[in-house]
Structure 1
Amino acid sequence: MTTITSHDVARLAGVSQPTVSRALRDDPRVSPATKEKVRKAARALNYVPSEVGRSLSTRSTRRIGVIVTDLTNPFYPHVVAPLHDELESLGYRMMLLTERSDEAVAEENLLDQSLDGVVLATATTDSRLPAQLDRRDIPYVFLNRDTGRAGDYASVVDNEGGGRLVAREIAALGHRRVAGVFGAANTTTGRERELGFRLALADEGIGLPEDGVVRGPFEYDTGYRALPRLLDAAQRPTAVFCGNDVVAVGVLNAARAAGLRVPEDLTVVGFDDLPMASWEVLRLTTVRHDLPELARQAARLLVRRITGDADSAGERLVLPTEFVPRGTHGRPSA
């Protein structure tokens, strides 16, 4: 079996072997046109650079770890794919690291420092993993969730602004009995979406009673189990804002089980605008942001951290949100 080498790539691309090595490392001394020519040649020959040899010469593995502790959530496949593609275009290989907790991932996969950087996709505000990465001098960025502290490097969404959008739309429809099924209290996405929702409701003179609030993981079961509790509250809601689309699907199914009509008896609004939200069977009213760009800008930010081009004080890149009206919201019937 013939082994393809960087010399073969050099011959096909019409450049020198050192130029191939520099181009595949995304060396700034190589022009974009030459880099693209080399990459096309490498793809044509199915050439895979030797990570061992590269690591010895550059102390760089060109590998990025992506930590996801909740693969059952439909949200993450929609960010992992564009994240992979963007990292690949920047000359890095992605490794998906999955465990039940961030700490378990660190213990099993990061101690050998075989990664150039890490994307934290399911971080919580009380996670110890960022501090562990800092101690090992491993660059990292937060994707979707961060710690909420100054100095983070993160690609996130305007969660508070999205929560405000929902509250204003619900109030404009005439709802005054409102409930929320939010994310866990140790997630910035959960906290910020709830905060924006509460603040905008207050601006409209609408209260959010404590028995009208449920917090939990961003999972289907959270929504399904929450709705019966909310329906038994002193103030039975006519509208429910959900921390994400997956939770909203749980609420929708619980409403169907309870014999409620949506939106005639209950307005339900999600967050994220996952592709399934637009399915005809759901037609979920929700809050949209650019999921692929959320992932792509995380990849670019991490590479800038690795190369030393990121702001030393931290960078928090925030994507805007918009309200997407579909079929699960309407005026209260009573």
Structure 2
Amino acid sequence: MLITSHDVARFAGVSQATVSRALRGDSRVSAATQDRVRRAAEALNYVPSEAGRSLSTRTTRRIGVLVSDLTNPFYPHLIGPLHDELERCGYRMMLLAERSDDALVTEQLLDHSIDGAVLTTTSTGSGLPDALRRKQLPFVFLNRVDGRDGVDGRNGADAAVVDNERGGRIAAAELAELGHRATGLLGGSDDTSTGREREQGFVAGLADAGIVLPDNRIRRGPYDFDTGYFGLSELLAADPSITAVFCGNDVVAIGAYNAALRAGVRIPDELTLVGFDDLPMASWEAFALTTIRYDLRAMARAAARLLLERLSGEAPDSAQRVVVDPELVRRGTHAPPLTAREER
């Protein structure tokens, strides 16, 4: 027999409305009454209905998280801490597969099944953020932004990101310090903020050291294994003199690593590789990848907090941005070029 809140009300000797308020921890209900209602609910094995709660509070306590590529090992490490932070704050996470059709995604987000959204794979040309702004569904950018917000957050959307440009500069400075001048780039798609910013930082960092990165030493593509594998093969075929390559992320770097192995190019003796993200696999002995690290968990938790502050009305009118600092992790895929070592 299904136990309802009316049964709990009769058992506790209060109204049904008081039961609902007491189980929500409403301050209008005394502590003694809240305790009596909870005991009654436990005695009857009563489980509150999420649907009923949503109708009474006009909230779902659910957050939609958009991801375009669940096969990419980066996203589980981003989604995990995001889920934990939302759960700790009493929210459930709904994982949504982002499609190319913004209209379909918007319809999915605006069906009243969620209170807010976390956008993790936004492209710079996406119309989804503006659609959500028009419909007044709170959202936060995580990892990527739509490219129209500027550093002061004037787009009205909160964001938690890594300082991608600084990460690119750090990689460039390391390669320059090692003595590499014939460098290449396997970057992310140019319709992503991460791809653009990391490339801009890398090119600027090389320029600071008096090194020019020509277009024929650049390949761009999705942040996946194939971009690294086929991209490095093309770079080496076009210019065998390349001695170091900066990769847009660790997955791309691992693809490049495999391409180098297949081509008989020794890493790091003949080719230096630097990744970005410091995923757990980057530290595996099989790769020992030198990479750019940042606190991925802190970035994900910050995104959750920004969105929940927005939902609670505690956030300021202007958009907030949390920027996580990157750092270089030196492992086993970097070394001076052979010519520099011979000169030493």
Same fold (TM over 0.5): yes
Cα distance, 1:270 vs structure 2:
0.2
The one-character-per-residue Cα deviations of 1:293-312 (angstroms, maximum 9, x if unpaired) are 11111001000111122222
**SS of residue in 2 equivalent to 1:271:** strand
Cα distance, 1:104 vs structure 2:
6.0
Q: Return the alpha-carbon distance in structure 2 between the equivalents of residues 227 and 21 of structure 1.
A: 57
Question: Is 1:21 equivalent to 2:20 in the alignment?
Answer: no
The one-character-per-residue Cα deviations of 1:116-149 (angstroms, maximum 9, x if unpaired) are 0000011111111111111221100011001231
Q: Which residue of 2 aligns with 1:297?
A: 302
TM-score normalised by structure 1 residue count: 0.87
Q: Return the alpha-carbon distance in structure 2 between the equivalents of residues 69 and 191 of structure 1.
A: 19
Q: Which residue of 1 aligns with 2:58?
A: 59
Question: Is 1:160 equivalent to 2:165 in the alignment?
Answer: yes
Cα distance, 1:105 vs structure 2:
5.1
Cα distance, 1:4 vs structure 2:
8.7
The answer to which of 236-245 and 306-315 deviates more is: 306-315
Gaps of 5+ in 2: 13-17, 30-36, 340-344
Q: Which residue of 2 aligns with 1:217?
A: 222
Q: Which residue of 2 aligns with 1:103?
A: 102
Gaps of 5+ in 1: 31-37
Identity, in percent, stands at 57
Question: Is 1:241 equivalent to 2:240 in the alignment?
Answer: no
The answer to which of 232-241 and 77-86 deviates more is: 232-241
Q: Which residue of 1 aligns with 2:139?
A: 140
For residue 255 of structure 2, the aligned residue among 247, 250, 262 is 250
Residue 244 to residue 277, structure 1, CA distance change in 2 (3 Å): same
**SS of residue in 1 equivalent to 2:111:** coil
Q: Return the alpha-carbon distance in structure 2 between the equivalents of residues 323 and 47 of structure 1.
A: 53
Larger radius of gyration: 2
Kept after mapping to 1: 8 A contact 2:160/2:321 = yes
Cα distance, 1:108 vs structure 2:
5.1
Cα distance, 1:201 vs structure 2:
0.5
Number of aligned residues = 316
Q: Return the alpha-carbon distance in structure 2 between the equivalents of residues 59 and 112 of structure 1.
A: 13
Cα distance, 1:235 vs structure 2:
6.6
CA RMSD of aligned residues (A): 2.8
Q: Which residue of 2 aligns with 1:35?
A: none
Cα distance, 1:111 vs structure 2:
3.3
Q: Which residue of 1 aligns with 2:33?
A: none
The answer to which of 150-159 and 236-245 deviates more is: 150-159
**SS of residue in 1 equivalent to 2:24:** helix
Q: Which amino acid aligns with 2:241?
A: R
Q: Which residue of 1 aligns with 2:90?
A: 91
Q: Which amino acid aligns with 1:145?
A: R
Q: Which residue of 2 aligns with 1:275?
A: 280
The one-character-per-residue Cα deviations of 1:143-192 (angstroms, maximum 9, x if unpaired) are 10012313331010010111111111111100010000111001110011
Q: Return the alpha-carbon distance in structure 1 between the equivalents of residues 263 and 187 of structure 2.
A: 21
The one-character-per-residue Cα deviations of 1:214-262 (angstroms, maximum 9, x if unpaired) are 1111011001010121112347310000000000000000000110000
**SS of residue in 2 equivalent to 1:76:** helix
Q: Return the alpha-carbon distance in structure 2 between the equivalents of residues 5 and 280 of structure 1.
A: 57
Q: Which amino acid aligns with 1:71?
A: L
The answer to which of 100-109 and 88-97 deviates more is: 100-109
Q: Return the alpha-carbon distance in structure 1 between the equivalents of residues 131 and 25 of structure 2.
A: 31
Q: Return the alpha-carbon distance in structure 2 between the equivalents of residues 182 and 310 of structure 1.
A: 35
**SS of residue in 2 equivalent to 1:60:** coil
Question: Is 1:171 equivalent to 2:176 in the alignment?
Answer: yes
Q: Which amino acid aligns with 1:112?
A: D
Residue 48 to residue 266, structure 1, CA distance change in 2 (3 Å): farther
Q: Which amino acid aligns with 2:120?
A: A
Q: Which residue of 2 aligns with 1:50?
A: 49
Residue 102 to residue 48, structure 1, CA distance change in 2 (3 Å): farther
